[in-house]
Amino acid sequence: NAGVTQTPKFQVLKTGQSMTLQCAQDMNHNSMYWYRQDPGMGLRLIYYSASEGTTDKGEVPNGYNVSRLNKREFSLRLESAAPSQTSVYFCASSGTTGHYGYTFGSGTRLTVV
Amino acid sequence: GQQLNQSPQSMFIQEGEDVSMNCTSSSIFNTWLWYKQEPGEGPVLLIALYKAGELTSNGRLTAQFGITRKDSFLNISASIPSDVGIYFCAGPPEAQKLVFGQGTRLTINP
């Protein structure tokens, strides 16, 4: 009963480096999401994928790209990391349109120096 | 963008006390949700509300969907140490986009 699995759990990058955050869910959910969490700002939606083959921008998409590789996997890529992207990143999934009881992963803590 | 204003931002209480927090939106929501986040983990859904005026309980937690549809409330009765965490309200301003409040950090002194 893994639910939503994110890798890595921690990462330190230098400014300008690139990396991909991985997310996989084993609940056969259609929709997947990427959020970032910063102190005092709650969680902000970066990108989402309502179904396999589709992706859309959320509230804070600049500096990120996503790929919905298949129904299970949704990755988030930072092409050229900046200190402003230091944050905790959460992936989530949802099985039913209009149902917002998202299942979240345990997060990736990213530091850009 | 859409903002949810959650208050208070933090609470320091004694074990056994009741807790109240609220969330307001600048626009109408058709759904209100309350999540809890524990250290090192992602948020977990506590209660979902789908109808204005609805009052729903989950153990010692009770949440209400405000009749204006622009606010929601969460109460925790007789707090215990495991209630510690960050509580978030959330709502969908449009389909497939869930926005979150800033969170209420709850600390409990035994």
Residue B97 in contact with partner chain A when CB distance is under 8 A: yes
pLDDT attached to residue A104: 95
pLDDT attached to residue A109: 97
Kindly give the pairing relationship between strand A87-94 and strand A103-104: antiparallel
Residues of A in contact with B41 (CB under 8 A): 104, 106-107
Alpha helices in chain B (DSSP H): none
pLDDT band at A76 (very low <50, low <70, confident <90, very high): very high
pLDDT band at B3 (very low <50, low <70, confident <90, very high): confident
On the question of pLDDT at B2 being above 70, the answer is no
Residues of B in contact with A42 (CB under 8 A): 4, 6, 88, 99-103
Smallest CA–CA distance from B49 into chain A, residue: A100
CB nearest A42 (choices: B40, B45, B100): B100
- A15: distance to nearest CA of chain B, Å? 25
CB nearest B97 (choices: A58, A105, A106): A58
Q: Count Cα neighbours of A55 within 13 Å in the Cβ-side half-sphere.
A: 19
pLDDT attached to residue A39: 85
pLDDT digits (tens, 9 = 90+) for A28-72: 999 999 999 998 888 999 999 998 989 999 999 999 999 998 999
pLDDT attached to residue B94: 79
Residue B92 in contact with partner chain A when CB distance is under 8 A: yes
C-alpha span between B29 and B23 (Å, rounded): 12
pLDDT band at B110 (very low <50, low <70, confident <90, very high): confident
Smallest CA–CA distance from B34 into chain A, residue: A101
- B64: distance to nearest CA of chain A, Å? 17
On the question of pLDDT at A97 being above 90, the answer is no
Residue B39 in contact with partner chain A when CB distance is under 8 A: no
- B15: distance to nearest CA of chain A, Å? 25
pLDDT attached to residue B92: 86
On the question of pLDDT at B83 being above 60, the answer is yes
pLDDT attached to residue A1: 63
pLDDT digits (tens, 9 = 90+) for B27-41: 899 999 999 999 999
Q: Which of B83, B58, B56 is nearest to B72 (CA)?
A: B56
DSSP state of A84: G
- B84: distance to nearest CA of chain A, Å? 17
C-alpha span between B69 and B72 (Å, rounded): 8
In chain B the first and final C-alpha atoms are separated, in Å, by 40
CB nearest A98 (choices: B4, B43, B95): B95
